[in-house]
Structure 1
Amino acid sequence: MKAISLFSSAGVGETYLKEVGIDVVCGAELINNRAKLYKHLYPHSEIVNGDITKQEIKDAISKFINNDVKLLLATPPCQGVSSVGKNKNQKQFLEDSRNFLIFDVFYFIDNFDFDAILIENVSKFLTMYFPFEGEFLRIQDLITKKYKGKYLVEILDINAQDYGVPQSRPRCFIKLFKKDYFWPAPEKEAQITLKEAIGHLPSLEAGESSKIKWHFAKEINERDILAIKHTPTGKSAMINEVYFPRKINGEKVRGFHNTYKRLDWELPCHARTTKSGEISSHCNAHPGRLKPDGTYSDARVLTILELLIVASLPQDWDIPNWANDRFIRHVIGESVPPLLLKKVLGTLKKS
């Protein structure tokens, strides 16, 4: 099945789609470097780089939609509704223009005859109300009202950790498909702990490298290293009585219960965000191992290799030389885990 991908986020989520018979002929991306990475990863696909709210960009994408293109993928930005984003209520949601990019998806559904459409976002996306024809509707009700004559509409509100991804990543999928298709939910699987996923990799301290590709540790400041070294697995340095995170002047850093926090070996990885390279951000410190002196090893964030593993990306993922650490962490943090997308789309069949 040939497909078009809107809001491609450098194509991270599309990594395994050819394995389930899906050929993305064209992606669309706003940011230049992400479009550049998309073309690097998928040299035989087209990429349209620009603002999808502009008609000329819609027209450019439309040129690649012919009668053979039967699947539309749309993963509009989730920051406007993410649980770690700035918008916590309906009023703030309405003031964030990113949350209305779904209406640009409707443009393509209205103007082309797809057999199936998959819209993906964070779970909170399902709880927000959108203005439509003089009333406010939740997205499921809006889409059902708008397309019920043509498509069956089903919702999947699931967590990637239940489908072979060693990371807790709640996502919602809105499926629209014609009546001659069968599209069940994928089968649940046993969760993969962080120990099972990355426990075999050698310990590293901040700034150290190994001989394994992409397994090298970012440098962090000595104050944070000291705090994390005295923080047990699964705990936050913010509750340390002596070795808590400090500013340069010695004052305690202000933060929440999950900042400067070590991950837990016995659980799937906490959701990786665009800030996975910052030790101070949510649950970003390596779990560490207890040392004979009572401190804990691996006072650092996850390496790029560890990030690839918990994001369900190939360990030999083709990262170009020009893509720096921050950029790679950002695109992975914004993307749906590719193994999850593969499994959701892998059940789509003709009846």
Structure 2
Amino acid sequence: MKDYKVIDLFSGAGGMSVGFDRAGFHIAASIELLEKYAKTHEINFPECRSLFGDIQTVSPREFELETNVSKDDRIIIIGGPPCQTFSTAGQSKIQSLTKGDIKKDPRNYLFKSYFEYVKYFNPDVFVMENVPNLQTKYGGEIFKNILDLCRSLGYQTSYDVLNAADYGVPQNRRRLFVVGFRKGKCFKFPDPTHRGNERTVSDAISDLPHIYDGIRAGLLPYSKVSNLTNYQKLLRNKKNEVDNNICRVSNERAKKVFSYMKQGDKYMDLPKEVRNILPFREDIFPDRLKRLSLDKPSWTILAHIGMDGYRYIHPTEDRTLSVREAARIQSFPDNFVFNGNMREQYIQVGNSVPPLLAEAIANSVRKLL
């Protein structure tokens, strides 16, 4: 499918781009608001024109001129407009910034910029990703507007909520996908490949380098070279070392609490005297600390991992996950390098579409094309 040019809007680090690239598509151009994230995309897709800029001020025509991707080319558009206002996380903070009326937040309407590009470039197919709450937020009003807009542009749409764990990602992560096709075709979402046989945290990270709390390392060798899981074989570097071995420093009180936690435990599972070592508002933060289980998929890796990581405690070590461990759980291949400081790297991982999930959708797109 290299005759198609893929445009990734709101690209972030490039999780969707990785998936479509693995499915055989050519990632030709992208745009991302945050410079460090756009640089990550540029590093990993050197043949792509990765723009740093605001899609609300960069018109489709300016994008065309800057990237040399013409509206006359065979095009696919992918991407996910920011979802903070639709997510159940962080609502109180957003309300404080919008004087209580969250519906006034301009990020609710960034999908309009996405569809300005769809209107201009007239792609054969588009794939838009967001949180499941987009379907029901504000009584479903915004989602209905999106579907009406798709129809007005001549697209037949299919939409569904998929769990990444059903497609080989060692993480329970539910995301909404809207796929629009021209030519009267009907898109069918991929059948689950791993439902009932989900990959686990152990499948994902047990071969990664031995590290310690607070490490700041680049390339390190893998911790083992044999008895690898199929997932590890799928994602490993051929050069037998991997980058982004960065882990935040946990304070001593936190690490003491970690030592009392069994795999799968959360903060409120601990005795009161242990919780008092590192006290939180228990009515607000009942799951402030959570230790992953080796033999189960991870819970959703969120961008909040860039703040403290206490919801992502290593299953057997008294530390939080490293950037690379989080990236593995997201299904990024080990040759993918994250740019920026530690916090920015974590947030890029947490905000991304898992590449294996994106690849499954890309393969279904390819079949229909």
Q: Any unmatched runs of 5+ in structure 1?
A: 131-135, 289-297
Does structure 2 conserve the Cα–Cα contact (< 8 Å) formed by 1:3 and 1:73?
yes
* 2:216 is equivalent to residue 188 of structure 1: no
Measured in 1, the distance between the counterparts of 2:183 and 2:253 equals: 60
Taking a change above 3 Å as real, the CA distance of residues 333 and 267 of structure 1, as seen in their structure-2 partners, is same
Measured in 2, the distance between the counterparts of 1:207 and 1:225 equals: 12
Structure-1 residue corresponding to 2:147: 144
Structure-2 residue corresponding to 1:341: 358
Residue 318 of structure 1 is aligned with which of 305, 312, 337? 337
Taking a change above 3 Å as real, the CA distance of residues 280 and 302 of structure 1, as seen in their structure-2 partners, is closer
Structure-2 residue corresponding to 1:242: 273
Structure-1 residue corresponding to 2:181: 177
Structure-2 residue corresponding to 1:305: 324
Structure-2 residue corresponding to 1:220: 250
Measured in 1, the distance between the counterparts of 2:210 and 2:271 equals: 23
Measured in 1, the distance between the counterparts of 2:361 and 2:193 equals: 13
* 2:35 is equivalent to residue 32 of structure 1: yes
Taking a change above 3 Å as real, the CA distance of residues 20 and 196 of structure 1, as seen in their structure-2 partners, is closer
Measured in 1, the distance between the counterparts of 2:327 and 2:46 equals: 21
* 2:123 is equivalent to residue 114 of structure 1: yes
Using CA pairs under 8 Å that are at least 6 residues apart, name the structure with larger relative contact order, 1 or 2: 2
Structure-2 residue corresponding to 1:46: 49
Does structure 2 conserve the Cα–Cα contact (< 8 Å) formed by 1:30 and 1:51?
yes
Amino acid paired to 1:253? F
1:272-287 alignment to 2 at 5 Å?
A: 272-279=301-308, 281=310, 283-287=311-315
| Larger helix percent | 2
Structure-2 residue corresponding to 1:82: 87
Residue by residue over 1:15-48, the C-alpha shift from the partner in whole angstroms, topping out at 9 and shown as x without a partner, is 1322323212110111111122222111211122
Kindly state the Cα deviation for residue 148 of structure 1 after the two structures are TM-superposed. Answer: 2.7
TM-score by length of 2: 0.80
Q: SS where residue 175 of structure 1 aligns?
A: strand
Amino acid paired to 1:167? Q
Measured in 1, the distance between the counterparts of 2:336 and 2:330 equals: 11
Residue by residue over 1:197-232, the C-alpha shift from the partner in whole angstroms, topping out at 9 and shown as x without a partner, is 224557755246875345564321111000111111
Residue by residue over 1:276-303, the C-alpha shift from the partner in whole angstroms, topping out at 9 and shown as x without a partner, is 255564x211122xxxxxxxxx111112
Measured in 2, the distance between the counterparts of 1:186 and 1:142 equals: 26
Does structure 2 conserve the Cα–Cα contact (< 8 Å) formed by 1:260 and 1:279?
no
Q: SS where residue 262 of structure 1 aligns?
A: coil
Residue by residue over 1:304-349, the C-alpha shift from the partner in whole angstroms, topping out at 9 and shown as x without a partner, is 23212101011232345xx332221111111111111111121113
Measured in 2, the distance between the counterparts of 1:170 and 1:92 equals: 27
Residue 270 of structure 1 is aligned with which of 272, 296, 299? 299
Amino acid paired to 1:219? V
Structure-2 residue corresponding to 1:133: none
Kindly state the Cα deviation for residue 83 of structure 1 after the two structures are TM-superposed. Answer: 2.2
Residue by residue over 1:213-257, the C-alpha shift from the partner in whole angstroms, topping out at 9 and shown as x without a partner, is 45564321111000111111111234333222646xxxx232422
Q: SS where residue 346 of structure 1 aligns?
A: helix
Does structure 1 conserve the Cα–Cα contact (< 8 Å) formed by 2:158 and 2:187?
no
Q: SS where residue 61 of structure 1 aligns?
A: helix
Q: SS where residue 42 of structure 2 aligns?
A: helix
Does structure 2 conserve the Cα–Cα contact (< 8 Å) formed by 1:231 and 1:240?
no
Taking a change above 3 Å as real, the CA distance of residues 305 and 147 of structure 1, as seen in their structure-2 partners, is closer
Does structure 1 conserve the Cα–Cα contact (< 8 Å) formed by 2:291 and 2:315?
yes
Measured in 1, the distance between the counterparts of 2:276 and 2:246 equals: 23
Kindly state the Cα deviation for residue 156 of structure 1 after the two structures are TM-superposed. Answer: 1.5
Structure-1 residue corresponding to 2:167: 163
Q: Any unmatched runs of 5+ in structure 2?
A: 223-241
Taking a change above 3 Å as real, the CA distance of residues 103 and 192 of structure 1, as seen in their structure-2 partners, is same
Taking a change above 3 Å as real, the CA distance of residues 280 and 42 of structure 1, as seen in their structure-2 partners, is closer
